[in-house]
Amino acid sequence: LGVLGQKARDKKLSPKDLQGANFTISSLGAIGGTAFTPLVNWPQVAILGISPATMQPVWNGQGFDPKLMLPLSLSYDHRVINGADAARFTNKLTKLLKDIRTLLI
């Protein structure tokens, strides 16, 4: 994954590097924007779109706290992936990203 990332940054990906996947992660981080709808690239079955993280006010029950929010957008092929499973995946990913320490346990 690290090698592919470096090849992408260096604009040296080959067609062979882009074959055989069934899930894509696409980021607008460097471009900006607030959200987007990623399109599934057939024959893949899903794509996760990640928009830039921004500080947002979040109500804590008594007042607003500044929180870093990372917009995620999951698109998937309903012929292959059940919507409930996709929602569970997104919820699990959100839970892991809320406290990154959980990835170390």
Catalytic amino acids?
78
DSSP state letter for 99: S
Give every strand in the sheet of 46-50, ordered side by side.
Answer: 23-27, 46-50, 72-76
From 22, 21, 48, select the one nearest 37 (Cα to Cα): 48
Alpha-carbon gap, residue 32 to 52, rounded angstroms: 6
Q: Pull the structure tokens for residue 45.
A: 């079955």
